[in-house]
Structure 1
Amino acid sequence: MTDNLGNSRGASSPLLRVANVTKRFGGFTAVDDLSLDIVPGEFFALLGPSGCGKTTLLRMLAGFETPDAGDILLDGSSIAQVAPHQRPVNMMFQNYALFPHLTVADNIAFGLKRAGLPKPDIDARVEEMVALARLQGMEARRPDQLSGGQRQRVALARSLAPRPRMLLLDEPLAALDKKLRETTQAELLEVQRRLGMTFIIVTHDQEEAMTVADRIGVMNQGRLVQVATPRALYEAPNSRWVAGFVGNINMIEGQVTSSDGGCITVAAADAGKIVVAGSASAPSVCIAIRPEKIALSRADEDAAGGVNALRGTLLDISYLGGTSTIRVQLDGGAVLRVAVANATRTDVETFASGQRITASFAPADCVVLES
């Protein structure tokens, strides 16, 4: 069971509790009365546009910023006023912050030496982290002798070496190219699963958040506007803003004209009549439909007479490799984006610009948004 922000209830006691935290910089409120529970072993992602407050929140968890109001509790004890080096929390920075004059092994061992661990324990921990991050044979190299992905793994190993209760990651993959980023995402997820440690990652990359996270918290203007699993966030956004921010989506405004049998009928000036599974408490709603939920057929085929079968004209086709994006202008004026999987080389060859087309979708594939 979850509350309205997706926080787990009863599943496990929270490792981290952020309780009504506010942080201001002069007259600007970076984090605004934010509350969040994160359970042990969870991979949690903070997602949002630039300036939404996600990095400020992460810095407060690390101890680099202090809340102006509210509290931060780890294992039930307040850490809001605890110095960064005294918290069982480590942070991995976007630029990795490796020491250029130290070897891989010495970079990993740096924090352990500062903590005063005996040399045999340090050596054993470095060996463990080298194996975990797949850095065998690179122990004597300096950072400038490593690739971007290898430097990222060194930074990860150094952050994990003290065995923190929680690891914070600030856009750790932003500097990597797309292919390397995808590979590193999988490696990061594997490490987190093997350790069973709580990871909190800040990212502006929606695909990255969807790939690695158990839950995602979407932030806007210092507030958490929705917390949910990746699937729930994508399939059931709770507002127009979240729907528009997470992935591609078509949104059609309209007026509810009837309600019957678990469905409502919406009259949209630029799209026509749309039947949606669900209910609405307001007369004006927004109907959201993901591009891949829409099927296309020639205008003279059977779909033209069915429920949510909307006639229009094909505007253009964008070939994206695995999929193609097709834009269809409905007769009422609305433009729909449709995603078509290129399962065969000829999948989109039956469609062409200027063609009369029918776009159809099931009532259950629509989401009703009232805010």
Structure 2
Amino acid sequence: MAEDIANIETAAAPVKAAALPELAQPLLRIEGVVKSFGGFRAVDGVSLDIRAGEFFALLGPSGCGKTTLLRMLAGFEAPDEGRILLAGEDIAQALPHQRPVNMMFQNYALFPHLSVRDNIAFGLKRAGMARAEIAARVAEMVALVKLEGLEKRKPDQLSGGQRQRVALARSLARRPQVLLLDEPMAALDKKLRESTQVELMELQRRLGLTFIIVTHDQDEAMTVAGRIGVMQAGRLEQVASPRLLYEEPVSRWIAEFVGDINLFEGEVKTRAMHRLAVTTRDAGELVATEPRRAVVGTKVCVAIRPEKIRLARRGPASDAATGHAINRMEGAILDANYLGGTTIYKVKLDSGPVVRAAVANTARLDTDGYGVGQRVVVWFTPDDCVVLDR
């Protein structure tokens, strides 16, 4: 880790990338990048474009290749195949200090024997910057991350949130074109993590830099990033905005990984315009809106998010807003978990499966809630459904 820091903070000021014509090409282009360790392919043919000034998240489970990809962008690993273009220049084989990129490490990697001021100044000193310029830049970074009055403290005299700010200030001090963040909020408690996410977003907007964050926390990725790339087994499965990723997953794996989902397996029975009738094993016949040309006889999954499922003591026969038929099942409340803003109900359907419904708690008192064992109607509209290949 110390060698990584020295590598990325060493030598002259970062190379200035060529100016980009507006909308001409992405700031960062990854083309068919492959990285193997022995017989294991950690990154398997990833291609991705990231725009200047974008806050981009790489999301995925442990071991999916996201950190390895980040380390290749930083220069700590070289790709076996493919190109990494920054402002049109291939930097795949460039050393860390030869690229206008900096990285904030997961454990912050602060030097315990150095003060806040000296930690922030570390890379500037190694770059040979004049003393007066270093002092001015450090003061600018301290103010930027709100550490005034703490400049003389050592890392062990700081809270977790303050140590994170020092690491962030050190990463920004050399004014990189791209800042890479490796699980930067993993060590923070929930409340501090949420406030830090907001501060990080505001900082990125104010600076106008390109931020790339690696995280396994879906909520974090959807909060801070304008676009998210989801990785699995070294491959990029989907790149989309948080809303599209959640509402229009391209695969069953994405639907199950991002948020909670209810799945009903079945087969397309009929198709009329954009409406599919799907015969399922556990829920009878479901009607789903599907703009793609699903073929009759195709094996599919009908996916419904918990917040799209409605509960009622006597369910409607049709959607009052559109007059269209709805998907309607009956069952009994198996469990109810009150979470403040919502209550998560588990409903055991008469046909056997258990579905999850997230119901907003709009009243202060639980006047409209359902008790365990209570009979309910579960219903949702065709537009609430996403049809996925099995």
Instruction: State the secondary structure of the residue aligned to 1:174.
Output: coil
Residue pairs, 1:1-371, within 5 angstroms: 11=23, 13-278=25-290, 279=292, 280-281=294-295, 283-298=298-313, 300-303=314-317, 306-347=325-366, 350-371=369-390
Would the alpha carbon gap of residues 87 and 332 (structure 1) be closer, same or farther in structure 2, given more than 3 Å must change? Answer: same
Partners of 1:201 and 1:348 lie apart in 2 by 43
1:78-123 Cα distance to aligned partner (Å, 9 max, x none): 1111111111100000110111111111111110010001111111
The letter for the 2-side match of 1:75 is: A
Give the secondary-structure state (helix, strand or coil) at the position aligned to 1:50: coil
CA distance in 1, matches of 2:367, 2:24: 48
**Amino acid in the other structure paired with 1:251:** L
Return the letter of the residue paired with 1:283: T
The runs of 4+ residues in structure 1 deviating greater than 2 Å are 300-306, 345-350
Counterparts of 1:364 and 1:347, CA distance in 2: 29
Q: Distance in 2 between matches of 1:99 and 1:302?
A: 64
Give the superposed CA RMSD.
1.5
- Structure 1 residue 301, shift from structure 2 partner: 4.4
Q: Which amino acid aligns with 1:295?
A: R
TM-score, structure 1 normalization: 0.94
Letter in 1 for 2:67: T
CA-CA distance at 1:71 after TM superposition:
1.0
The one-character-per-residue Cα deviations of 1:305-351 (angstroms, maximum 9, x if unpaired) are 95211111221111122211101122221211000112223346541
- Residue 315 of structure 2 contacts residue 378 of structure 2 at CA under 8 Å; is this kept in 1? no
CA contact (8 A) 2:59 2:228 kept: yes
What is the rounded CA distance, in whole Å, between the counterparts of 1:348 and 1:315 in structure 2?
Answer: 19
SS in 2 for 1:185: helix
Opposite residue 248 of structure 1, the aligned amino acid is D
Q: Does structure 2 conserve the Cα–Cα contact (< 8 Å) formed by 1:12 and 1:39?
A: no
Query: What TM-score do you get using the length of structure 2 for normalisation?
Result: 0.90
Write out per-residue CA displacement over residues 33-72 of structure 1, whole angstroms, 9 at most, x where no aligned residue.
1101101001110000111000000000011111011111
The 1-side partners of 2:233 and 2:95 are apart by 27
- Contact 1:304-1:310 at 8 Å conserved across structures: no
Q: 1:145 Cα shift?
A: 1.2
Which residue of 2 is the match for residue 5 of structure 1? none
Q: Helix, strand or coil for the counterpart of 1:49?
A: coil
Q: Deviations over 1:119-170 (max 9, x none)?
A: 1111111111111101111111111111100110110000000000100000
Amino acid at match of 1:294: I
Is this contact kept in 1: 2:315–2:328, CA < 8 A?
no
**What runs of 5+ residues in structure 2 fail to find an aligned partner?**
1-21, 320-324
Letter in 2 for 1:203: T
Distance 1:350 1:150 in 2: 42
Q: Is the 8 A contact 1:250 1:336 kept in 2?
A: yes
Q: Which structure 1 residue ranges, 5 or more long, are not aligned?
A: 1-9
Q: Could you tell me how far 1:294 is from its partner in structure 2?
A: 0.8
Change (3 A) 1:336 1:51: same
* Partner Cα distance (1:226, 1:58) in 2: 17
More divergent stretch after superposition (246-255 vs 257-266): 257-266
Deviation of the 1:303 alpha carbon: 4.6
Equivalents in 1 of 2:298, 2:350: separation in Å? 24
Q: How far apart, in 2, do the equivalents of 1:272 and 1:313 lie?
A: 17
CA positional deviation for 1:11? 4.6
**Alpha-carbon spacing, 1:13–1:369, altered in 2? closer, same or farther (3 Å):** same
Which 10-residue stretch deviates more, 41-50 or 323-332? Answer: 323-332
- Partner SS, residue 368 of structure 1: strand
% of aligned pairs identical?
A: 65
**Per-residue deviation, 1:77:** 0.6
